[in-house]
Amino acid sequence: MTGGKTVSGRRRLLLGGAVCGLLAACAGLAAAELGAAAVRPEAAPVAAVGGTLVDLAPAAVKEWAVRTFGTADKPLLAAGILLVLAAVAAAAGVLAAHRPRAGAAVAAGIGLLGAAAALGRPGAAWRDALPSTAGGLAAAAVLYGLARALRRPGPAGAPPGGGAWAMDRRGFGRLAAGVLAASAVAGYAGRRLGAHGSAAATASRAALVLPPPALPAPPVPPGTDPRVLGASPFFTPNREFYRVDTALVVPRVDAEAWRLRIHGAGVTRPLELGLRELLQRPLVEHDITLTCVSNEVGGPYAGNARWLGVRLADLLREAGVRPPSEGGPADQLVARSVDGMTLGTPVETVMDGREALLAVGMNGEPLPFAHGFPVRMVVPGLYGYVSACKWLRELRLTTFAAYDAYWVRRSWAARAPVKTQSRIDTPRPSARPAAGRIAVAGVAWAQHRGISRVEVRVDGGPWQQARLAAADGVDTWRLWSWPWEASPGRHTLRVRAVDGTGAVQTEARAPVLPDGATGLHTVTVDVVPPGWGGAA
Ligand SMILES: Nc1nc2c(c(=O)[nH]1)N[C@H]1C(S)=C(S)[C@@H](COP(=O)(O)O)O[C@H]1N2
Ligand SMILES: [Mo]
């Protein structure tokens, strides 16, 4: 091997090596994708490593990611992992160009790291190691082969006997293109087969006919939704309903195979039921606004839906559970999802008479997969992270003293009732509306206490009473509007709500950590003189 000593030979090893590494990574990811199709999508290396990172990330980092990237945080995390993988793969490729065996060993090692991550995921079985292991082996084999090919001197410097196998630039290009094409085909096939794997879940959702409620929700009073242009509708369509969870791959649960287990302290009759058995119980319909503790003041993580489900309190009674106020030993209900999430809810709260539900329906259809199909919890008055477990699979009764759920271990509060909040939906921040009458409108929520008043203030002026839309009960948000006679210039609008107990929403600013943000939503707009063609 003499070419390697020259400058161009060294460049060839460096650049060519990096290319070999990247190609090997493609081959590895494709093989892993095929493997994941055979096992489960959550076991694919990027999903497994991503899930591990999400779980390891300190609360502050996660909170920052959600605040900065919103719901794009998951694709960005995946992109970040792929970037790091590309860098490591390129380095392994350069190593392989000099020492093929060592480079291949590094590639296989990366696969093992992915396998370890997959094995560490909640509910993992041994076979979850398969996708990353297969990926690592494929990458190692491809890298070894490519590196050997790269090291073969080209025809010009070919030693006698290099013969037909001697690799020139074009030959290497062909080999590279072949690896890429094979990876693309394998990767695509893996994706398709993987989607096929969840076909049973998709079919089970399509086939699910929700029984009519034994207790239908009363008709929504007229006037709950004044339909002000640019303001939130009273019911949030499922497609637009916010989504907050740690799942990099949305769990697709087969309703036919779904089981729920209820057990733990004070459970005298442990229950285990499938969906059919759950649906044999009387169903209740109830409108509940769900909000996330990570919602900044004025933020988007709030939605309102008509839920259909079984009363959680009835099911707990059936299992023999008594709330602490009746001498029951458990004060915490820990819900666990199929993806290993745990959420802790006060037993007293879910049994105090409010419509805490094991929901199966959302706005007239089975729960969408992203919102917890087939069964999730919804409890009016509590933030989602302490109540709204999606893809539910287990309910365990314990105490707050004995067990910290997922978010509590990450420095969020163990108990988190929803704080009174109000939001201006229109005009938008930095809007340039034309002077004259402008509809200021938005939503206010204080679930299970209700909203009794909303007030708006312009600049340093007095608090003025907004027009409240009709209330649909204490568990949903209330829409409001206020006609503003706006004069040209820059103005700041503020909103505050008064809850059903008469308590005024606090102006004091608090961050979302540990138990929800407070402060007043403030929107600044530039009102332009009439005839300037302003825009909300
Ligand atoms: N399994 C599971 N359930 C979960 C979560 C999660 O990460 N995993 N996130 C919770 C949080 S923080 C909120 S705010 C609500 C959001 O429900 P949605 O995505 O249907 O709006 O789900 C809750 N249930
Ligand atoms: Mo949340």
Segment 465-520, tens digit of pLDDT: 999 999 999 999 999 999 999 999 999 999 999 999 999 999 999 999 999 999 99
Same domain, 394 and 441: no
Same domain, 131 and 97: yes
Distances (CA, A) of 322 to 319, 332, 355: 9, 12, 17
Inter-residue contact 520 to 494 (CB < 8 Å):
yes
386 belongs to a structural domain: yes
Spatial separation of the C-alpha atoms in residues 527 and 489, rounded to whole Å: 5
**Which uninterrupted H or E stretch holds 185?**
helix 169-197
Same domain, 190 and 330: no
Ligand 1 touching residue 388 (CB < 6 A): yes
Q: What is the 3-state secondary structure of 103-146? A: HHHHHHHHHHHHHHHHHCCCCCCHHHHHHHHHHHHHHHHHHHHH
Spatial separation of the C-alpha atoms in residues 276 and 17, rounded to whole Å: 57
Inter-residue contact 452 to 492 (CB < 8 Å):
no
98 belongs to a structural domain: yes
Structural domains in the chain (count): 3
Ligand 1 touching residue 472 (CB < 6 A): no
Spatial separation of the C-alpha atoms in residues 462 and 505, rounded to whole Å: 16
Same domain, 457 and 398: no
The residue out of 174, 197, 220 marking a domain boundary is 197
Same domain, 24 and 147: yes
The residue out of 356, 385, 410 marking a domain boundary is 410
pLDDT at 165 over 50: no
Could you give the percent of the chain with pLDDT greater than 70? 95
Note the pLDDT of residue 25. 97
The residue out of 197, 225, 260 marking a domain boundary is 197
314 belongs to a structural domain: yes
What's the gap in Å between 11 CA and the centre of ligand 1?
51
Same domain, 165 and 289: no
330 belongs to a structural domain: yes
Query: Torsions phi, psi of 115, nearest 5?
Result: -65, -40
pLDDT at 71 over 80: no
Task: For the beta carbon of residue 87, count every other beta carbon within 10 angstroms.
Answer: 14
416 belongs to a structural domain: no
More confident residue, 237 or 4: 237
Q: Provide the token pair at 1.
A: 């091997």
Distances (CA, A) of 233 to 297, 361, 442, 478, 522: 19, 19, 9, 10, 21
What's the gap in Å between 407 CA and the centre of ligand 1?
11
**For residues 69-82, b (16+ Cβ closer than 10 Å) or e, as one string?**
eeeebbeebeeebe
Note the pLDDT of residue 151. 85
Q: What is the pLDDT of residues 298-331, one digit of tens each?
A: 999 999 999 999 999 999 999 999 999 999 999 9
Range(s) of the domain holding residue 358: 238-410
Note the pLDDT of residue 106. 97
Spatial separation of the C-alpha atoms in residues 501 and 357, rounded to whole Å: 24
228 belongs to a structural domain: no
pLDDT at 171 over 90: no
Q: How confident is the model at residue 6 (pLDDT cuts 50, 70, 90)?
A: low
- CATH of residue 346: 3.90.420.10
Q: How confident is the model at residue 536 (pLDDT cuts 50, 70, 90)?
A: low
Ligand 1 touching residue 292 (CB < 6 A): yes
**One-character DSSP codes across 304-371:** EEEEEEEEHHHHHHHTT---GGGT-S--EEEEEETTS-EEEEEHHHHTSSS--EEEEEETTEEPPGGG
pLDDT at 73 over 80: yes
Same domain, 97 and 181: yes
Instruction: From the CA of 385, give the closest atom in ligand 1.
Output: 12
Query: Torsions phi, psi of 132, nearest 5?
Result: -70, -35
164: Cβ contacts below 8 Å, ≥ 6 apart: none
Q: How confident is the model at residue 154 (pLDDT cuts 50, 70, 90)?
A: low
Spatial separation of the C-alpha atoms in residues 44 and 47, rounded to whole Å: 5
**Which of 294, 363, 385, 513 most suits a substitution to test ligand 1, by most atoms within 8 Å of the C-beta?**
385
What is the average per-residue pLDDT within 433-443? 97
Q: How confident is the model at residue 123 (pLDDT cuts 50, 70, 90)?
A: confident
- CATH of residue 511: 2.60.40.650
pLDDT at 1 over 50: no
Q: Which ligand is nearest to the CA of 515?
A: 2
pLDDT at 138 over 80: yes
Distances (CA, A) of 396 to 39, 216, 270, 286, 410: 28, 29, 10, 24, 20
What's the gap in Å between 372 CA and the centre of ligand 1?
8
**For residues 338-374, b (16+ Cβ closer than 10 Å) or e, as one string?**
bbbbbbbbbbebbbeebbbbbbbbbbeebbbbbbbbb
What is the average per-residue pLDDT within 175-203? 90
Q: Is the dihedral of CA 230, 235, 239, 241 positive or negative?
A: positive
Inter-residue contact 25 to 96 (CB < 8 Å):
no
Rounded (10°) CA dihedral 12, 14, 16, 17: 140
231 belongs to a structural domain: no
Ligand 1 touching residue 373 (CB < 6 A): no
Residue 462, burial from CB neighbour count under 10 angstroms (0-12, 13-18, 19+)? exposed
143 belongs to a structural domain: yes
Same domain, 29 and 176: yes
Same domain, 255 and 383: yes
Same domain, 62 and 130: yes
Same domain, 192 and 95: yes
Distances (CA, A) of 301 to 2, 57, 66, 289, 460: 63, 21, 11, 11, 29
Same domain, 78 and 188: yes
27: Cβ contacts below 8 Å, ≥ 6 apart: 138, 139, 142, 179, 182, 183, 186
Note the pLDDT of residue 533. 65
**Which of 235, 236, 245, 363 most suits a substitution to test ligand 1, by most atoms within 8 Å of the C-beta?**
245
Name the residue among 273, 38, 271, 4 with its Cα closest to residue 134. 38
pLDDT at 57 over 90: no
What's the gap in Å between 285 CA and the centre of ligand 1?
20
The pTM score is: 0.91
Ligand 1 touching residue 337 (CB < 6 A): yes
